C-alpha cells in the first residue's frame, strides 16, 4: 500500500493504478483508496473505469473534507462529460458546486453551461454561463479568452431563447 500511495502522491498515476488495482482485487480497498484508484484511472485516460468507481464510492465519502471530495467530483464530472454522459456529468457538477471554494466555481459553472447548451436547455445554460462569467471576472480576471468565450455563448443562448419565443408567437 505504501508504494501505491507514494506513486499517487508523486503524480505517477499509472504506476499507482497498477498497485491499487492489484490491492483492490486482493483485499477490497476502503472507499478513499478506491477513490484514489478512480482518480488514477481518470488521469490514465480510462474514463469508463473512473466513472464506474467514482459513482460507487462518492456517496460513501461524506465524512471527508469538502476540498478532497471536490477533487473527486471534478474528475468524475469531467470523465462523464468526456464519455458523453451529460446528465451524470451535470449531476456531478451540481455536487461539486456545493463543495468547492468560490474561486473554483467559475469552471464548474462554465462546464455545466456547456452541458446545458449541448442539451439545448437554453435558460439553464444562460443561468450557468452568467454565473461562470461572474466568478471568472471576480476570481480569474486574467482569463480573458475564457471570459470572451462565455460572453459569446451567452449571446448564443439569448439568440436561441429569442428564436424559441418567436416560434411560439408565430400564427
* Model confidence, pTM: 0.89
Listed residues 38, 67, 100: the one ending a domain: 100
The confidence score (pLDDT) of residue 26 equals 87
Are 5 and 84 members of one domain?
yes
| Domain shared by 84 and 115, yes or no | no
Last residue of a domain, one of 100, 135, 156: 100
Give the Cα separation of 71 and 168 in Å (integer). Answer: 43
- 112 and 154, same domain (yes or no): yes
Helix crossing, 105-118 with 86-99: angle to 10°?
160
The pLDDT assigned to 170 comes to 67
Question: Mean pLDDT, consecutive 10-residue segments, the chain of 171 residues?
Answer: 85 88 87 93 96 96 95 98 97 96 96 97 97 98 98 97 81 62
Give me Rg for the CA atoms of the chain.
Answer: 19
User: By residue range, what is the domain housing residue 76?
Assistant: 1-100
Residues 124-168 have pLDDT tens digits of 999 999 999 999 999 999 999 999 999 999 999 999 999 888 777
Half-sphere exposure of 87 (CA within 13 A, CB side): 0
Same domain, 113 and 70: no
- Identify the burial level of 18 via C-beta atoms within 10 angstroms of its C-beta, where 0-12 means exposed, 13-18 middle and 19 or more buried: middle
- Nearest-angstrom CA–CA distance, 141 and 84: 30
Q: What is the pLDDT of residue 168?
A: 75
Q: Residue 171's pLDDT is what?
A: 62
Amino acid at each position: 500500500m505504501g508504494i501505491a500511495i507514494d506513486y499517487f502522491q508523486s503524480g505517477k498515476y499509472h504506476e499507482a493504478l497498477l498497485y491499487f488495482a492489484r490491492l483492490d482485487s486482493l483485499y477490497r480497498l476502503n472507499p478513499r483508496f478506491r477513490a484514489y484508484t478512480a482518480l488514477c484511472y481518470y488521469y490514465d485516460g480510462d474514463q469508463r473505469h473512473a466513472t464506474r468507481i467514482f459513482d460507487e464510492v462518492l456517496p460513501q465519502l461524506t465524512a471527508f473534507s469538502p476540498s478532497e471530495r471536490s477533487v473527486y467530483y471534478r474528475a468524475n464530472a469531467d470523465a462523464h462529460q468526456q464519455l458523453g454522459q451529460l446528465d451524470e456529468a451535470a449531476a456531478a457538477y451540481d455536487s461539486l458546486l456545493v463543495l468547492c471554494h468560490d474561486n473554483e466555481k467559475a469552471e464548474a459553472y462554465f462546464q455545466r453551461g456547456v452541458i446545458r447548451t449541448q442539451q439545448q436547455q437554453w435558460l439553464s445554460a444562460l443561468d450557468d454561463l452568467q454565473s461562470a462569467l461572474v466568478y471568472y471576472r471576480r476570481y480569474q480576471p486574467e482569463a480573458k479568452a475564457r471570459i470572451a468565450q462565455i460572453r459569446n455563448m451567452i449571446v448564443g443562448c439569448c439568440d436561441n431563447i429569442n428564436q424559441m419565443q418567436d416560434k411560439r408567437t408565430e400564427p
